[in-house]
Structure 1
Protein backbone atom coordinates (compact mmCIF):
# COMPACT_ATOMS: atom_id res chain seq x y z
CA UNK A 1 0.00 0.00 0.00
CA UNK A 2 1.33 3.44 -0.96
CA UNK A 3 2.13 5.98 1.72
CA UNK A 4 -0.30 8.87 2.04
CA UNK A 5 1.58 12.07 1.25
CA UNK A 6 1.25 14.70 3.96
CA UNK A 7 0.62 18.23 2.67
CA UNK A 8 2.88 20.66 4.48
CA UNK A 9 1.51 23.95 5.74
CA UNK A 10 3.13 26.97 4.11
CA UNK A 11 2.05 30.52 5.03
CA UNK A 12 4.30 32.41 2.59
CA UNK A 13 5.27 31.50 -0.93
CA UNK A 14 6.70 32.80 -4.20
CA UNK A 15 4.80 32.77 -7.50
CA UNK A 16 7.05 32.50 -10.56
CA UNK A 17 5.43 33.63 -13.82
CA UNK A 18 7.35 32.65 -16.95
CA UNK A 19 5.63 34.37 -19.87
CA UNK A 20 7.08 33.34 -23.22
CA UNK A 21 5.70 34.16 -26.67
CA UNK A 22 4.18 30.67 -26.90
CA UNK A 23 3.01 29.81 -23.37
CA UNK A 24 2.70 31.02 -19.77
CA UNK A 25 3.98 28.80 -16.95
CA UNK A 26 3.05 29.50 -13.33
CA UNK A 27 5.07 27.86 -10.53
CA UNK A 28 4.26 28.26 -6.83
CA UNK A 29 7.10 27.54 -4.40
CA UNK A 30 7.77 27.98 -0.69
CA UNK A 31 10.32 30.58 0.44
CA UNK A 32 13.17 28.08 0.11
CA UNK A 33 12.33 27.48 -3.57
CA UNK A 34 10.77 24.01 -3.20
CA UNK A 35 7.99 23.64 -5.76
CA UNK A 36 4.53 23.16 -4.28
CA UNK A 37 2.46 23.26 -7.45
CA UNK A 38 2.52 24.51 -11.03
CA UNK A 39 0.26 25.09 -13.98
CA UNK A 40 0.50 26.35 -17.54
CA UNK A 41 -1.74 27.41 -20.37
CA UNK A 42 -0.76 24.29 -22.32
CA UNK A 43 -1.49 21.99 -19.37
CA UNK A 44 -5.04 23.38 -19.20
CA UNK A 45 -5.73 22.28 -22.78
CA UNK A 46 -5.10 25.50 -24.70
CA UNK A 47 -3.46 24.69 -28.02
CA UNK A 48 -1.61 26.64 -30.67
CA UNK A 49 -1.97 30.42 -30.71
CA UNK A 50 -4.57 30.36 -27.90
CA UNK A 51 -1.85 29.25 -25.44
CA UNK A 52 -0.15 32.64 -25.65
CA UNK A 53 -3.26 34.74 -24.91
CA UNK A 54 -3.81 36.77 -21.72
CA UNK A 55 -6.98 34.76 -21.01
CA UNK A 56 -5.04 31.47 -21.02
CA UNK A 57 -2.48 33.01 -18.63
CA UNK A 58 -5.28 34.09 -16.28
CA UNK A 59 -6.75 30.58 -16.25
CA UNK A 60 -3.30 29.10 -15.52
CA UNK A 61 -2.86 31.45 -12.53
CA UNK A 62 -6.29 30.57 -11.14
CA UNK A 63 -5.55 26.84 -11.48
CA UNK A 64 -2.10 27.10 -9.83
CA UNK A 65 -3.36 29.28 -6.96
CA UNK A 66 -6.34 27.01 -6.23
CA UNK A 67 -3.90 24.10 -5.89
CA UNK A 68 -1.58 26.27 -3.75
CA UNK A 69 -4.41 27.18 -1.36
CA UNK A 70 -4.45 23.54 -0.24
CA UNK A 71 -1.03 24.23 1.29
CA UNK A 72 -2.46 27.15 3.27
CA UNK A 73 -0.69 29.96 1.43
CA UNK A 74 -1.78 33.43 2.59
CA UNK A 75 1.00 35.77 1.38
CA UNK A 76 3.00 35.60 -1.83
CA UNK A 77 5.79 37.40 -3.65
CA UNK A 78 5.73 37.48 -7.44
CA UNK A 79 8.69 36.99 -9.77
CA UNK A 80 7.98 37.63 -13.45
CA UNK A 81 10.18 36.53 -16.31
CA UNK A 82 9.85 36.94 -20.07
CA UNK A 83 8.19 39.17 -22.67
CA UNK A 84 4.94 37.25 -23.27
CA UNK A 85 1.47 38.71 -23.72
CA UNK A 86 0.06 36.92 -20.66
CA UNK A 87 2.48 38.56 -18.26
CA UNK A 88 0.44 41.60 -17.08
CA UNK A 89 -2.81 39.65 -16.86
CA UNK A 90 -1.12 36.92 -14.83
CA UNK A 91 0.23 39.43 -12.30
CA UNK A 92 -3.17 41.13 -11.95
CA UNK A 93 -5.02 37.85 -11.49
CA UNK A 94 -2.69 36.75 -8.66
CA UNK A 95 -3.61 39.94 -6.79
CA UNK A 96 -7.33 39.47 -7.50
CA UNK A 97 -7.57 36.04 -5.83
CA UNK A 98 -9.45 36.01 -2.52
CA UNK A 99 -7.44 35.26 0.62
CA UNK A 100 -4.03 35.82 -0.97
CA UNK A 101 -2.02 38.98 -0.33
CA UNK A 102 0.83 40.07 -2.61
CA UNK A 103 3.80 41.28 -0.52
CA UNK A 104 6.36 42.09 -3.20
CA UNK A 105 6.90 42.00 -6.95
CA UNK A 106 10.11 41.58 -8.96
CA UNK A 107 11.01 41.32 -12.65
CA UNK A 108 13.72 38.68 -13.14
CA UNK A 109 13.91 38.75 -16.94
CA UNK A 110 17.54 38.06 -17.91
CA UNK A 111 19.18 40.95 -19.76
CA UNK A 112 22.49 40.46 -21.57
CA UNK A 113 25.33 42.85 -20.76
CA UNK A 114 26.33 42.59 -24.42
CA UNK A 115 26.46 38.79 -24.31
CA UNK A 116 26.61 36.60 -27.40
CA UNK A 117 27.89 37.80 -30.75
CA UNK A 118 24.92 38.40 -33.10
CA UNK A 119 24.65 36.35 -36.30
CA UNK A 120 26.19 37.80 -39.45
CA UNK A 121 23.99 39.95 -41.70
CA UNK A 122 21.86 38.12 -44.26
CA UNK A 123 22.89 38.39 -47.88
CA UNK A 124 20.00 37.93 -50.28
Structure 2
Protein backbone atom coordinates (compact mmCIF):
# COMPACT_ATOMS: atom_id res chain seq x y z
CA UNK A 1 0.00 0.00 0.00
CA UNK A 2 2.88 2.37 0.76
CA UNK A 3 4.41 1.85 -2.69
CA UNK A 4 1.13 2.69 -4.45
CA UNK A 5 1.66 6.02 -6.27
CA UNK A 6 -2.07 6.85 -6.10
CA UNK A 7 -2.14 6.83 -2.29
CA UNK A 8 1.00 8.98 -1.92
CA UNK A 9 0.37 12.71 -1.45
CA UNK A 10 1.12 14.66 -4.60
CA UNK A 11 3.56 17.57 -4.43
CA UNK A 12 1.89 20.55 -6.09
CA UNK A 13 5.03 22.69 -6.57
CA UNK A 14 8.22 21.89 -8.48
CA UNK A 15 11.29 20.71 -6.62
CA UNK A 16 13.19 23.96 -7.32
CA UNK A 17 10.45 26.06 -5.72
CA UNK A 18 10.44 23.91 -2.58
CA UNK A 19 14.22 24.23 -2.26
CA UNK A 20 14.01 28.00 -2.70
CA UNK A 21 11.36 28.26 0.04
CA UNK A 22 13.51 26.20 2.42
CA UNK A 23 16.56 28.37 1.71
CA UNK A 24 14.51 31.55 2.25
CA UNK A 25 13.25 30.25 5.62
CA UNK A 26 16.81 29.45 6.74
CA UNK A 27 18.03 32.94 5.74
CA UNK A 28 15.15 34.63 7.54
CA UNK A 29 15.68 32.65 10.75
CA UNK A 30 19.49 33.09 10.83
CA UNK A 31 20.54 36.13 12.94
CA UNK A 32 22.87 38.71 11.41
CA UNK A 33 26.52 38.32 12.46
CA UNK A 34 27.13 42.03 13.09
CA UNK A 35 24.94 45.13 13.03
CA UNK A 36 27.06 46.55 10.19
CA UNK A 37 26.41 43.46 8.07
CA UNK A 38 22.68 43.76 8.70
CA UNK A 39 22.62 47.44 7.68
CA UNK A 40 24.63 46.94 4.47
CA UNK A 41 22.46 46.17 1.44
CA UNK A 42 23.02 42.83 -0.24
CA UNK A 43 24.64 42.90 -3.68
CA UNK A 44 22.27 41.92 -6.50
CA UNK A 45 22.66 38.38 -7.77
CA UNK A 46 22.71 39.40 -11.43
CA UNK A 47 23.67 42.69 -13.07
CA UNK A 48 20.65 45.01 -13.20
CA UNK A 49 18.61 42.89 -10.77
CA UNK A 50 16.66 44.58 -7.97
CA UNK A 51 15.66 43.25 -4.62
CA UNK A 52 12.06 42.09 -4.29
CA UNK A 53 11.26 44.69 -1.62
CA UNK A 54 12.44 47.58 -3.80
CA UNK A 55 10.44 46.37 -6.80
CA UNK A 56 7.31 45.89 -4.70
CA UNK A 57 7.54 49.37 -3.19
CA UNK A 58 8.00 50.95 -6.64
CA UNK A 59 4.92 49.14 -7.96
CA UNK A 60 2.87 50.34 -5.00
CA UNK A 61 4.04 53.92 -5.48
CA UNK A 62 3.09 53.80 -9.17
CA UNK A 63 -0.38 52.50 -8.38
CA UNK A 64 -1.02 55.06 -5.63
CA UNK A 65 0.00 58.08 -7.71
CA UNK A 66 -2.93 58.69 -10.07
CA UNK A 67 -1.56 60.21 -13.25
CA UNK A 68 -3.43 63.11 -14.76
CA UNK A 69 -4.61 61.96 -18.17
CA UNK A 70 -6.95 64.45 -19.83
CA UNK A 71 -7.49 62.51 -23.09
CA UNK A 72 -8.22 58.79 -23.30
CA UNK A 73 -9.65 56.02 -25.44
CA UNK A 74 -12.72 54.02 -24.40
CA UNK A 75 -12.78 50.51 -25.87
CA UNK A 76 -16.25 48.94 -25.85
CA UNK A 77 -16.41 45.25 -26.73
CA UNK A 78 -20.08 44.28 -27.06
CA UNK A 79 -20.57 40.60 -27.80
CA UNK A 80 -23.78 38.59 -27.84
CA UNK A 81 -23.03 37.34 -24.32
CA UNK A 82 -21.27 40.18 -22.48
CA UNK A 83 -20.15 43.82 -22.66
CA UNK A 84 -16.63 44.87 -21.68
CA UNK A 85 -15.49 48.48 -21.37
CA UNK A 86 -11.90 49.60 -20.80
CA UNK A 87 -10.42 53.09 -20.83
CA UNK A 88 -6.79 53.56 -21.83
CA UNK A 89 -4.46 56.49 -22.21
CA UNK A 90 -3.38 57.42 -25.79
CA UNK A 91 -0.39 55.05 -25.51
CA UNK A 92 -2.66 52.08 -24.73
CA UNK A 93 -2.00 51.71 -20.98
CA UNK A 94 -5.22 50.50 -19.33
CA UNK A 95 -6.47 52.92 -16.66
CA UNK A 96 -9.79 51.25 -15.81
CA UNK A 97 -11.86 48.31 -17.03
CA UNK A 98 -15.02 46.45 -16.17
CA UNK A 99 -17.49 44.00 -17.64
CA UNK A 100 -21.07 42.95 -17.04
CA UNK A 101 -19.91 39.74 -15.40
CA UNK A 102 -17.63 41.67 -13.06
CA UNK A 103 -20.54 43.91 -12.05
CA UNK A 104 -22.52 40.89 -10.86
CA UNK A 105 -24.73 40.15 -13.85
CA UNK A 106 -25.10 36.44 -14.62
CA UNK A 107 -26.21 34.49 -17.66
CA UNK A 108 -28.39 36.25 -20.21
CA UNK A 109 -28.57 39.45 -18.10
CA UNK A 110 -24.95 40.17 -19.02
CA UNK A 111 -25.92 40.85 -22.62
CA UNK A 112 -28.56 43.50 -21.85
CA UNK A 113 -28.30 47.21 -22.57
CA UNK A 114 -28.87 47.98 -18.88
CA UNK A 115 -25.81 45.92 -17.92
CA UNK A 116 -23.74 47.83 -20.49
CA UNK A 117 -24.94 51.12 -18.98
CA UNK A 118 -23.90 50.05 -15.47
CA UNK A 119 -20.50 48.88 -16.74
CA UNK A 120 -19.81 52.17 -18.53
CA UNK A 121 -20.85 54.21 -15.47
CA UNK A 122 -18.52 52.14 -13.27
CA UNK A 123 -15.57 52.62 -15.63
CA UNK A 124 -16.22 56.37 -15.79
CA UNK A 125 -16.24 56.46 -11.97
CA UNK A 126 -12.97 54.50 -11.82
CA UNK A 127 -11.24 56.90 -14.22
CA UNK A 128 -12.37 60.05 -12.34
CA UNK A 129 -9.14 60.29 -10.21
CA UNK A 130 -7.17 60.65 -13.47
CA UNK A 131 -9.14 63.85 -14.29
CA UNK A 132 -10.02 62.62 -17.75
CA UNK A 133 -12.17 65.02 -19.77
CA UNK A 134 -12.18 63.82 -23.39
CA UNK A 135 -12.41 60.30 -24.76
CA UNK A 136 -12.43 58.71 -28.16
CA UNK A 137 -14.78 55.72 -28.29
CA UNK A 138 -13.89 52.58 -30.22
CA UNK A 139 -16.75 50.10 -30.45
CA UNK A 140 -16.28 46.48 -31.42
CA UNK A 141 -18.83 43.72 -31.82
CA UNK A 142 -22.53 43.29 -32.62
CA UNK A 143 -23.91 43.29 -29.06
CA UNK A 144 -26.89 45.17 -27.67
CA UNK A 145 -24.79 47.25 -25.29
CA UNK A 146 -23.05 49.41 -27.89
CA UNK A 147 -25.20 52.55 -27.88
CA UNK A 148 -26.19 52.40 -24.22
CA UNK A 149 -22.54 52.22 -23.12
CA UNK A 150 -21.71 55.28 -25.24
CA UNK A 151 -24.67 57.19 -23.76
CA UNK A 152 -23.62 56.25 -20.23
CA UNK A 153 -20.06 57.48 -20.83
CA UNK A 154 -21.40 60.76 -22.19
CA UNK A 155 -23.86 61.26 -19.33
CA UNK A 156 -21.11 60.65 -16.75
CA UNK A 157 -19.41 63.90 -17.76
CA UNK A 158 -16.88 62.72 -20.34
CA UNK A 159 -16.73 64.58 -23.67
CA UNK A 160 -16.78 62.19 -26.62
CA UNK A 161 -14.57 63.47 -29.44
CA UNK A 162 -14.99 60.59 -31.91
CA UNK A 163 -16.82 57.28 -32.23
CA UNK A 164 -15.23 54.57 -34.35
CA UNK A 165 -16.49 51.11 -35.20
CA UNK A 166 -13.48 48.81 -35.13
CA UNK A 167 -15.38 45.54 -35.58
CA UNK A 168 -13.15 43.23 -37.61
CA UNK A 169 -14.78 42.35 -40.91
CA UNK A 170 -13.74 39.14 -42.67
CA UNK A 171 -12.81 39.20 -46.34
CA UNK A 172 -14.42 35.78 -46.78
CA UNK A 173 -12.32 34.27 -44.01
CA UNK A 174 -13.69 31.73 -41.54
CA UNK A 175 -16.95 29.90 -42.03
CA UNK A 176 -19.75 31.56 -39.98
CA UNK A 177 -21.61 29.84 -37.17
CA UNK A 178 -24.59 27.67 -37.99
CA UNK A 179 -28.01 29.37 -38.06
CA UNK A 180 -30.12 29.22 -34.92
CA UNK A 181 -33.33 27.22 -35.24
CA UNK A 182 -35.96 28.60 -32.87
TM-score (norm 1): 0.89
Question: How far apart are residue 118 of structure 1 and its match?
Answer: 5.9
Structure 1: how far apart are the matches of 2:176 and 2:147? 29
Q: Matches of 2:77 and 2:156 in 1, distance apart?
A: 19
CA RMSD of aligned residues (A): 1.8
Q: Which has the higher contact order (CA 8 A, sep 6+)?
A: 1
Which of these residues, 154, 161, 181, is aligned with residue 103 of structure 1? 161
CA distance in 2, matches of 1:68, 1:18: 18
- Change in Cα spacing, 1:84 to 1:33, as seen in structure 2 (3 Å) is same
| Structure 2 residues not aligned, in runs of 5+ | 1-52, 178-182
Greater strand proportion: 1
1:113 counterpart residue number: 171
Partner SS for 1:80: strand
What CA deviation, in whole Å up to 9, does each residue of 1:29-77 have, x standing for no partner? 0011110010111000000111110000000000001001111100000
What is the correspondence of 1:72-83 to structure 2 with a 5 Å cutoff?
72-83=131-142
Tell me the matched-pair count.
Answer: 119
User: Which structure: larger Rg?
Assistant: 2
CA distance in 2, matches of 1:6, 1:56: 30
Write the distance in 2 (CA, Å) between the matches of 1:52 and 1:13. Answer: 25
> How big is the shift at 1:117?
4.8
| Aligned match of 2:85 | 26
Summarize the alignment of residues 1-124 of structure 1 with structure 2, pairs less than 5 Å apart: 2=57, 3-4=60-61, 5-98=64-157, 100-117=158-175
**Given the superposition, is the C-alpha separation of residues 118 and 40 from structure 1 closer, same or farther in structure 2, using an over 3 Å criterion?**
closer
What does the per-residue CA deviation read over 1:97-120, in whole Å, with 9 as the maximum and x for residues that have no partner? 22x11111100000001112568x
In terms of fraction of residues, the more helix-rich structure is 2
Structure 1 residue runs of 5 or longer lacking an equivalent are: 120-124
